[in-house]
């Protein structure tokens, strides 16, 4: 799968799907669901686009009802709902900022009220700002990373936990940068490493309850966040996002979706506190 990406930029994070050139692929037409998640209910933060949308569509094709919590990209959110409903499941879009604990509480309530319960939580919403020098990172920028990428994971999981039972699954989207580092993304990398600590500690805490907690650590993937974060600094960098992977290309969200299905389904019933590395072969440490 070769994807040629021209230099480009988007003005605001987390970016929108329709401005991407080329359009991203979220689920392959050839992907066949087998009812692995039939009767399950999932809540996905950042499910309006990118990897979050891929998780939503793969869950839906496997039979799960889905809710998405998104920041402000109404067009993308409604499209995710439309595509999920086309798979024959219930779908719900909830607008709000994961950095606000009350928003997360309400999102869980709406999900439970509408879908009749909650079995799967995917913490995926995130921000990343490029800074080539630590002194360029302002207090507000640093705190914004923490509020969304760490606090948002905590708030949504805490709100969901009273509704999760045995065989439920929590899946956190981390990053290859948590393991390999990234000189241009110090704040982002810090949050992604913190998410790994959160994943491992929570997995130990919840194991006696039969609730599994795992993570997916993507490499460079073609999502709106890429042109919205790298583009304003260097549009040319967007065209070379995947050049350093052994496979020599950027990944598509469709190549991440099945990893979320595996961690959400009973296929991974003996897997907790672990990380799936879907990164094009990048070497990691730890």
Mean pLDDT of 169-185: 97
Candidates 66, 273, 101, 95; CA nearest to 170 is 273
Q: Which residues face 68 on adjacent strands?
A: 44, 93
Domain assignment of residue 84, yes or no: yes
* CA separation for the pair 281, 248 (Å, rounded): 9
Mean pLDDT of 18-46: 97
Predicted confidence band of residue 20 (pLDDT cuts 50, 70, 90)? very high
Domain assignment of residue 138, yes or no: yes
Predicted local confidence at residue 3, as pLDDT: 67
Domain assignment of residue 8, yes or no: no
Predicted local confidence at residue 283, as pLDDT: 79
**At residue 4, does pLDDT exceed 90?**
no
List, as one string, the DSSP characters of the chain. Answer: ----------SSSS--GGG-SSPPP-S-TT----STTTT-EEEEETTTSHHHHHHHHHHHHTT-EEEEEESS-HHHHHHHHHHHHTTTS-EEEEE--TTSHHHHHHHHHHHHHHHS---EEEE--------SSGGG--HHHHHHHHIIIIIHHHHHHHHHGGG--TT-EEEEE--THHHH--TT-HHHHHHHHHHHHHHHHHHHHHGGGT-EEEEEEE-SB--THHHHHTTTT-HHHHTTTTTTSTT-S-B-GGGTHHHHHHHHSGGGTT--S-EEEESTT-----
The domain total for the chain is 1
CA atoms within a 13 Å half-sphere pointing along the CA-CB vector of 226:
31
* CA separation for the pair 189, 179 (Å, rounded): 9
Mean pLDDT of 136-160: 98
Q: Per-residue pLDDT tens for 180-238?
A: 999 999 999 999 999 999 999 999 999 999 999 999 999 999 999 999 999 999 999 99
List, as one string, the DSSP characters of 44-65. Answer: EETTTSHHHHHHHHHHHHTT-E
Q: Are 162 and 152 in contact (CB under 8 A)?
A: no
Q: What is the pTM of this model?
A: 0.97
Q: Per-residue pLDDT tens for 73-99?
A: 999 999 999 999 999 999 999 999 999
User: What is the pairing mode between strands 65-70 and 212-218?
Assistant: unpaired
- Active-site residue set: 188
For residue 119, CA distances in Å to 7, 42, 156, 174, 226 come to 40, 6, 13, 20, 30
* CA separation for the pair 269, 167 (Å, rounded): 8
Domain assignment of residue 203, yes or no: yes
Q: Per-residue pLDDT tens for 52-79?
A: 999 999 999 999 999 999 999 999 999 9
Q: Per-residue pLDDT tens for 230-270?
A: 999 999 999 999 999 999 999 999 999 999 999 999 999 99
* CA separation for the pair 252, 277 (Å, rounded): 14
Residue 186 lies in domain: 34-278
Predicted confidence band of residue 50 (pLDDT cuts 50, 70, 90)? very high
Domain assignment of residue 6, yes or no: no
Residues 6+ apart with CB under 8 A from 163: 108, 112, 117, 118
Domain assignment of residue 204, yes or no: yes
Instruction: Indicate which CATH number applies to the domain containing 237.
Output: 3.40.50.720
Domain assignment of residue 18, yes or no: no
Predicted confidence band of residue 284 (pLDDT cuts 50, 70, 90)? confident
* CA separation for the pair 170, 164 (Å, rounded): 9
**At residue 286, does pLDDT exceed 60?**
no
Q: Per-residue pLDDT tens for 111-139?
A: 999 999 999 999 999 999 999 999 999 99
């Amino acid at each position: 799968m070769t994807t040629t990406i021209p230099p480009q930029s988007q003005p605001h994070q987390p970016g929108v799907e329709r401005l991407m050139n080329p359009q991203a692929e979220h689920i392959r037409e050839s992907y066949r669901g087998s009812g692995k998640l039939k009767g399950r209910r999932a809540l996905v933060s950042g499910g309006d686009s990118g990897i979050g949308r891929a998780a939503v569509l793969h869950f839906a094709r496997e039979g799960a009802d889905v809710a998405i919590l998104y920041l402000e990209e109404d067009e993308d959110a409604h499209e995710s709902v439309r595509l999920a409903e086309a798979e024959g499941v219930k779908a719900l879009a909830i607008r709000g900022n994961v950095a606000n604990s009350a928003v997360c509480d309400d999102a869980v309530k709406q999900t439970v009220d509408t879908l009749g319960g909650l079995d799967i939580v995917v913490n995926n919403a995130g921000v990343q700002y490029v800074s080539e020098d630590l002194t360029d990172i302002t207090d507000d920028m640093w705190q914004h990373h923490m509020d969304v990428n760490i606090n948002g994971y905590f708030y949504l999981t805490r709100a969901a936990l009273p509704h999760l039972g045995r065989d439920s699954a929590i899946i956190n989207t981390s990053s290859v940068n948590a393991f390999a580092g990234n000189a241009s993304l110090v704040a982002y990398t810090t949050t992604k490493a913190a998410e790994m600590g959160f994943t491992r500690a929570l997995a130990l805490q919840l194991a006696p309850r039969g609730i599994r907690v795992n993570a997916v650590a993507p490499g460079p993937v073609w999502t709106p966040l890429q042109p919205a974060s790298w583009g304003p600094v260097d549009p040319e960098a967007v065209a070379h996002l995947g050049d350093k992977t052994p496979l020599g290309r950027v990944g598509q969200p469709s190549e991440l979706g099945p990893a979320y299905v595996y961690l959400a389904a009973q296929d991974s019933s003996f897997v907790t506190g672990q990380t799936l590395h879907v990164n094009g072969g990048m070497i990691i440490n730890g």
